[in-house]
Structure formats: structure tokens, C-alpha cells
Structure 1
Amino acid sequence: MCAIIAGVLVQWLFSAASDRPQETERSSSSAKPQAAPIELTPEEETAALKKEEMQLTQQLLRDFPGNDVILAFVGSVYRQHGNNTEAVKLLNKALELNPNRPDVYNALGSIAFAKGSYEEAITYLNRALKIDTRQPGLRSSIAFSLMALGRYTEAIEQLDNNVQIFPKSVYSHFLLGQACLQQKDYDNAREHYLTAIELDQNYVNAYYGLFTAYSRLERQDKAREYMAAFRRLKAEEIEASKARDKLYDDLVLMRQTIAENQIFAARIYQAGGRSDKTEELLQKAAILNPKNIICLKELAGLYSTTNRPTEALKMYKRISESEPQNPACFFNVGVISAMLKRFDDAEEALRKVIKLAPEDSRGYRELAWLYLNTKKSHSQARKLAEKAVKLEKTAVNYYLLACACDMNGDRTNALEAAEQAIQLDPGNVEYKQIYQRIKNRK
């Protein structure tokens, strides 16, 4: 019989969990009493979060000096904190190192617009557009700056170009309505406002624009209709604003933003080979925003690449709770569970993969390997392997089928499948060895 080789998952290659040293549990007598956590007010937590984030930015600047990515990132953090003066200095330093940064020019344009320097904003935004002609939002930002200067014809030209590239840009259609209104082109203004609310029926200001356009067109019936809709939506907006706890909601938003920044910083440290700092930042991000699935995926990937399958499995299980229809997540759960010899869990997860993605061969392939490795059902493994080959005629699937046929005593079909695997991947030594082993067996 051919030697059974487990299905390969390139991203996750682990040694057994038992190979790692286990932490010893402290006895209760040696443990120091833990102080009760201090309750912070929203204002105090906001201040503490800002302080910690600024400490992180300074550490990044020290750890990665002369790096345009870091300078641009830290500049964006200063901007988030309202320190535009320092942000501009850092963003310009980033451009000195790498002038091919449309995102940095865009950020400088936004800062210039915020302080009312519309010509300066247009200059920066045009530089960004010259580097990346398809960056979302650039043309609409240029148009808004032009409108602030009363240059509506130029603004319309920019917006027309933008909706050609991004036809579902609600904001661009709304701005086109505004610009056409200023040009007394009421028919086109109406059409763009209508497109805006067709794309987003809750875009409140577009209803007021329609009221104005229909009033200018002397369509008072339609004007009253859209004014009524505007008032209704505006009232709902005001009620929702009253109901929210602004201080708390702002704190939640800050936590989410800082979590995203910590994820970005974690990626920088990971690229620099600092897995310890990467994990620290990702764990902090996960605490700040437990619903951030990207953070959980980054942690799962980190644990996978640092040979910590148990922790990776916990992360993927958490992700699966938030993404119950994601077959890739259950695939990872299945493969890692098999590596940890949790075979029942692996089988359940891989069957879930097949249910969610019946046209993807990977679920069938890994479940077949599981059945072969555990000797649970050679006949079922062969059926799964045949299904995998039917879906995707790849070398790895034919190799699986060769092993499954061989384990079922079907030497002829095993050789045929092995030949197919070699034909598709002639440089693979394993496939050739399996073929020779089956062929030479008496």
C-alpha cells in the first residue's frame, strides 16, 4: 500500500501541540491578589487611548526611521487627533522619501480643504490624480473644492468623468445635482438627485435638492412631495441623534479607529519579523473592537505561521461564529483540527465546507485525506477523491485519487491516477515515487 501523506495546507504547517513546552499553572498560594479593574469615565478612557496611540506612533518612528509608510501612517494618526500642523510635516517628509504616494497627496488636499485653502487642495488632489487616475473619491473632492470657488463648469467636468468610472457614486451624483442647480440646469439637476436617491433612498439632502429643482421647474406637486419626504427623513435623523449617547458613541468609534491603526502597525512589525510585537498589537486591537474580523484573521494567521495551532484554531472558531457562511474559515478549522488529532471536529468542519462550497474540490480532498489517515473509510475516501478530481483535474487531486485507489486495492486505477498527477506536475518527486512503488509492488 502507498504511504499516506496528509493533504497539504501551505499556510498552516505545524508540529504537534504536545511538542511545545506547556505553561505550568501557578498555585493559588503563590498567586498575588489581583487589584479590581479601575472604571474609567468616557473622557478618561479617551485620553488614555489617545496617549497610548501617540506612544505607539513614536515607537514606530524610532523602530523604522526613514520609512515613508511609517511617516504617512503617523501623519494620518496626528490628523485623526486634530493636529494638522504636525500631520502636514510628517506627510511632506513621506513625500520627500517617496513622491509617488497618491494617498499622501489626497490627505494633504483634505487638510488644505478643511482650512479653506481650496486652490492648494486642488493642487494636491490633482497631483494624486496624476499618479492614480482611478483612485475613488479624488475627482469628487476636486469638484467640491472647485464648487467652493464657484467654478461649477470645471466641477461638472470632473464629476462627469467620475461617474463614468464609478457610476454608483451617490456623492458624485448629489454634487452634480448641486452644480447643475447653480448653473440653472434644473432638468439635469433633477436627474442626478433622482439617481442619488435611487442608489441610496436615505440620502436626505438629495430630497431637498429635488424640492428645489422641481420648484424651479414650477412642478409644485412634485416639489411638495419631496419636501415632505425631506422633512420626514430629517425628523428621523434628529430623533436618532437625540437617542444616541454622543460621548459613548464617539468613544466606540475611537476604539474602532485605534483598533484599525493597531492592525496596520501590527502588519508593519510582522513584515519586520517582530512577531511578539505583532501579537501584542493584534490582541489589543481585538480587545478594543471584538467585532473586527480582520483582526481575528490576522491573529489566526500569526498563530498559524508561528506554529501555534491550538491558538489558531480558537481564532478560526471565533471567526466562524461571525461568518457562519464562510467555507474558508471552516476549511481552516477542519485542517487544523486534523493536525491536532481532533478528528471528529475535523470531519464536522470539512463536511460544513462541502455543504457551503459544493463546487470547490478542497473540502472533498481534505475530508478524503482525513478518512485515509484515520483509516475510517477507504471506500468513502475514494468517492470523495473521485469527486475532487471531477471538480478540478489538478495534480494534487489525482495524487489523492491514486492513494485512495491503492488503499482500496485497485492497482490499475491507482497507476492511472498517478500517471495523470505526474503529467500535470512532472517535477514532483513524490508523485513519481508513489507511481514506482505501486508499479513495482507484486
Structure 2
Amino acid sequence: MKGRPASKRRSPRRSTGTPVQPRPQAHGRFRMVWMAVAIGVAVAAILAFLTWDTQQEMVSELEMFGDGHRLPPGDPPLDAAAVLGLNPQVPQTVSEINEEILAVGKLVMTTLPQRPEAYAQMAVAHLQVGQERAALESWQRALEQNPSFAEGHLGMGVLLKEFGEDEAAIASLSKAIEVNPELEPAYRELTSLLLQQRRTEQAVEVARQCVQRFPDQAENHYWLGQAFLQHEDYEAASRSYEQTLRLAPDYSPALHSLAVAAARMGDKDRATQYQKRFAERKALELEAERQEARNFDDLASRRQALSKRHAVAGVLQLQVGDPRMAEAHWLRAAAIDSQERTTRQALATLYEQQSRTAAAVQMLEELCRLEPEQAEYFLRKGRLLVGLGADLPAREALQQTLQLAPQTAEAHRMLAQIHLRSATDWPTAVAHAETAARLAPSSDTYLVLAAVQSQSGDLAGARAALSRALQMDPDNPRTRRAYERLRELD
């Protein structure tokens, strides 16, 4: 493995009582662990960002009467490559992709030198290109910025464990748990290492803490079973493995370990049964792995890795209040991976909040193409187009929303408003307005219903709808004015 002295390479260690799973190649192991930890945390942050509620703000901009509200066009499209100092052409080879992965890490580290997360992203970048020793240095620099950065201790622990520096790894992983008891992967890494060290009682205690904190994760019960197995408490081990299978029926390591535990308790029939199930499941897994290997596209995989690096960088930039840099990273991510969704979601929300409606609509159109079964994208697109007064494309988007989610009250309400503005097809307008009021009764929906009924000549229905609106919001001046205007017509 690159960067590892020969004297420090860890050889597979087997200990009596604990089946040892084959160790993946180091680069693959690092990628699996840290793509799951660091990137997973960052994507969760993007998703949290996407939950910002812009719906009420956008709805308040809509005019119930008249031609609708036109939002300002906003800034011109951002030149992401120029802002980031990258080649305008997206990388086309694995070598070029690896260069940009490192460039993104260095850029984040340079622009956010006081943030430990920036050095963490540099560490992940090094790991993705196989530079493990450089990654270790980046984790150390992250901890220099913040000694209580739990992810830094976890990163150090994983690498030190891989390098065979077990005592230092145990100290780092223990510190990660001490600083942040919710850092789930640290428990599993520490349990595994303690078992390799034959420190069985400590392993049982750490694994038990993990299960108590995270009882819904099958792998946590598996590792508790491994600790009990090494402790020669075969009944407790079996209970843990059985719980693993209740949570994940196809988890083959638990089947194998159950066979081992049953054999050691002298139950040959159960041992044979579980060994047979394990062999059947393992055969399926091996065939799936062979199929995956046949279909594997290394270039596409590396593109996805680079896209995620930009996604993470954008989150960090947004956290420090630089939406321009966040936008640049997310645009680059979208350009690199034409199927990537998360950054497009983030960009659509960012553009909505910045009133850059045309850009938001473009991103939502891409999301509609990528996930045509998601009604939310069509609804958001329709909402923006209604705000712009672009009634025809808005109607198409809202009708598609209702095909996917017929009970979407907002789509019915906005379709009623479109018909109201164009003064066409009053029966359809009334039907949409009535449905909106039934699905989501509120002062606003009854106002729309009243307006449609009034324009269609149903003054009695309009008065009834306005009365309901006033009952729901008696202090609403717009409702009061509409009610007084309608009374003047009597």
C-alpha cells in the first residue's frame, strides 16, 4: 500500500473464538469508511439545508388577482471554474480527476484555514487518491485547529489501526468516543481493534455501549456477538447474532458466527443449519460481486467521488457565509456528474432564496428529468413560474404534480389562480379552488375560492367562501376588503 513502511504493514491476525472477516484492500477500506463517515455527514448537511422552508415566502409573493408578481431576474450564471480556479473543461481521465480531488481539498483548506473540517476534507481527498500518510498529517492538522474535533480522532484512529500502530489507534478511537459519544463508527472500529488485541472484556464493554446507543443498527449487534464469542459466552453471542439477523436477515457474517457459536455449544444440527444458510447467502453475494465487477466503471466511480468532494466543499463554504463559493462548488459537482441530485437540490433552493428564479427553474427542470416521479420538483417549478406570470408552463408543471400527487392542495390552488388570471374555463377553476379549500382549509384557499366563484358569477358561493375565510382569520385585512367589495355588489 502506498505510503506504508514495510515494517508496519499489518498481517491478518486470527484469534481463537473470533472469526476474522477478510480485510479489504487498504484503499478500498479507507474509501468505504470515510466516504460513509465524512461524505455521509456532509450530504446530511446538504439535506438539512434543503429543508429550509421557502414555501410560505413564495406563496406570499403571489397575487390572487391581476397579472401575478414578477421576481427580478437575479445575477447572471456563475462561472464556477473561474471562481474556483479550475480548468473550464471537466476532467476526463482518472488522473485528471485525482488531480482535481486534491485541488478541491487544498482550496477548501486554503480558504478556511481555521476550520478543522477543511483539513478533514483534505484528509479524505488524500485517502481517495491513495495517499494515506498525507491523510494522517491532515488529520493531525485538523486536531491542531480543534483538539475536540471528534471526527479527527476517528480519522487518526482508523489510519493508525491500518498502519499497525494499535496502542495509538486505541487512544485515538477512545478519544473520539469521549469527545462525541454519538460518533457511531468509532465504537465499531475500537471494538474490532480490541478484539484483535485480545482485550476481550474491554471489547464487550465498548460493543455493549454501542448497542445501547444505536440499537437499530444490525452491525452493532454483530460486533457485540463477536466480543461475546471471544469471551466464550456463546449463548450471549448467539442472542446478539440473532438480533443482527432480525434487523438484517441477509447479514452473512452473523450466519457464519451463529454456526461457530452453535458448534462450540455442541449443537451440531443448528451449526449445520446456519452453515448451510451462510453458504447459500455467500454464494449469492459472490455472484452479485462478480456482476458488479463486470459492470464496474472506474471512471464513472471516480467522477462521483470528485462530485461529492465539491458537494462537501460547498456545504463548508455555506456554513461560513460564502454562498458564492458554495454555488461554484455545487455547479462544478453538477457538471462533473450529470446524474447527481443532491447539489442540484441545494442549488435550486439557493436560487429560490436569492430570487434567481430562472436559475432555480433550470435546476428544477433538471431534477424533474432525473427524478420524474418526484411531485415536489414539479410543484416547486410550477410555483416559481406562477410567480413569474408564465402561466402555460406553470400549468403544465402543476398538472404533472397532480398526476403524481392528486391530493396536493397547493397545486389545485395555483391552477385555480391561473384560470382566474386568464378568465377561462370557470368550471375547472371552481373545481380546483374547491378541492384546494377541502384539502387545506385556510383563509388563503377560501379567498381563492371566493375570487373564482365571484368571477364565474356565483356571488352566493363567493360570500360563503369569504365568510369561512373571515372565520378562520378575522384580522386579515385582505379578506375584509374582499368581503366589503362583494357586499357593495349586492
- TM, length-normalised to structure 1: 0.78
Pick one of 467, 478, 483 that aligns with 1:416: 467
User: Per-residue deviation at 1:170?
Assistant: 1.9
User: Per-residue deviation at 1:361?
Assistant: 2.8
CA deviations 1:52-93 (Å, max 9, x no partner) are 122222222333332333233223323333434443443344
Matched, 1:9 2:52: no
Pick one of 235, 250, 254 that aligns with 1:187: 235
| Residue of structure 2 equivalent to 1:217 | 265
CA deviations 1:164-188 (Å, max 9, x no partner) are 3433312112212222221222222
Q: How does 1:254-333 map to 2 (within 5 A)?
A: 254-270=302-318, 277-333=325-381
Q: Which amino acid is the alignment partner of residue 211 of structure 1?
A: A
| Residue of structure 2 equivalent to 1:129 | 177
User: Per-residue deviation at 1:260?
Assistant: 1.0
- Identity over the aligned pairs, expressed in percent? 25
User: Per-residue deviation at 1:294?
Assistant: 0.7
Moved more, 318-327 or 236-245: 236-245
Q: Which amino acid is the alignment partner of residue 266 of structure 1?
A: G
Mark the CA change 1:337 to 1:347 in structure 2 (over 3 Å): closer, same or farther: same
Pick one of 188, 194, 197 that aligns with 1:140: 188
Pick one of 355, 370, 385 that aligns with 2:418: 370
| Residue of structure 2 equivalent to 1:389 | 437
User: Per-residue deviation at 1:372?
Assistant: 1.9
Contact 1:122/1:142, CA 8 A, preserved across alignment: yes
Mark the CA change 1:437 to 1:301 in structure 2 (over 3 Å): closer, same or farther: same
Q: Which amino acid is the alignment partner of residue 419 of structure 1?
A: L
User: Per-residue deviation at 1:259?
Assistant: 0.9
Contact 2:234/2:264, CA 8 A, preserved across alignment: yes
Matched, 1:70 2:156: no
Contact 1:361/1:391, CA 8 A, preserved across alignment: yes
Q: Which runs of 5+ in 1 are unaligned?
A: 1-5, 24-36
Mark the CA change 1:244 to 1:413 in structure 2 (over 3 Å): closer, same or farther: closer
Q: Which amino acid is the alignment partner of residue 391 of structure 1?
A: L
Q: How does 1:420-435 map to 2 (within 5 A)?
A: 420=471, 422-423=473-474, 426=475, 430-431=478-479, 434=482
User: Per-residue deviation at 1:139?
Assistant: 2.6
Q: Which amino acid is the alignment partner of residue 172 of structure 1?
A: N
Q: Which runs of 5+ in 2 are unaligned?
A: 1-54, 63-67, 78-88
| Residue of structure 2 equivalent to 1:207 | 255
Distance, in Å, in 1 between the alignment partners of 2:312 and 2:75 is 31
Contact 2:74/2:357, CA 8 A, preserved across alignment: no
Distance, in Å, in 1 between the alignment partners of 2:340 and 2:422 is 36
Distance, in Å, in 2 between the alignment partners of 1:83 and 1:420 is 67
Secondary structure of the 1:9 match is helix
- TM, length-normalised to structure 2: 0.71
Mark the CA change 1:189 to 1:271 in structure 2 (over 3 Å): closer, same or farther: closer
Contact 1:401/1:417, CA 8 A, preserved across alignment: no
Distance, in Å, in 1 between the alignment partners of 2:128 and 2:76 is 42
Matched, 1:253 2:301: yes
Between 1 and 2, higher relative CO (CA 8 Å, sep ≥ 6) is seen in 2
Q: How does 1:219-234 map to 2 (within 5 A)?
A: 219-234=267-282
Secondary structure of the 1:58 match is helix
Mark the CA change 1:20 to 1:58 in structure 2 (over 3 Å): closer, same or farther: closer
Secondary structure of the 1:79 match is helix
Contact 1:422/1:432, CA 8 A, preserved across alignment: no
Q: Which amino acid is the alignment partner of residue 58 of structure 2?
A: L
Secondary structure of the 2:58 match is coil
Mark the CA change 1:356 to 1:100 in structure 2 (over 3 Å): closer, same or farther: farther
Distance, in Å, in 1 between the alignment partners of 2:477 and 2:113 is 46
Mark the CA change 1:242 to 1:401 in structure 2 (over 3 Å): closer, same or farther: closer
Distance, in Å, in 1 between the alignment partners of 2:116 and 2:275 is 49
CA deviations 1:312-369 (Å, max 9, x no partner) are 3343233234434322112113223434555344334323434544554322222222
| Residue of structure 2 equivalent to 1:3 | none
Contact 2:132/2:159, CA 8 A, preserved across alignment: yes
Distance, in Å, in 2 between the alignment partners of 1:86 and 1:19 is 45
Moved more, 239-248 or 79-88: 239-248
Distance, in Å, in 2 between the alignment partners of 1:271 and 1:70 is 12
User: Per-residue deviation at 1:383?
Assistant: 4.0
Distance, in Å, in 1 between the alignment partners of 2:71 and 2:59 is 18
User: Per-residue deviation at 1:265?
Assistant: 1.6
| Residue of structure 1 equivalent to 2:218 | 170
Q: Which amino acid is the alignment partner of residue 225 of structure 1?
A: Q
Contact 2:74/2:354, CA 8 A, preserved across alignment: no
Contact 2:463/2:483, CA 8 A, preserved across alignment: no
User: Per-residue deviation at 1:102?
Assistant: 2.8
| Cα root mean square deviation, aligned | 3.9
Secondary structure of the 1:70 match is helix
Matched, 1:115 2:131: no
Q: How does 1:24-63 map to 2 (within 5 A)?
A: 45-63=93-111
Contact 1:415/1:439, CA 8 A, preserved across alignment: no
Aligned residue pairs total: 417
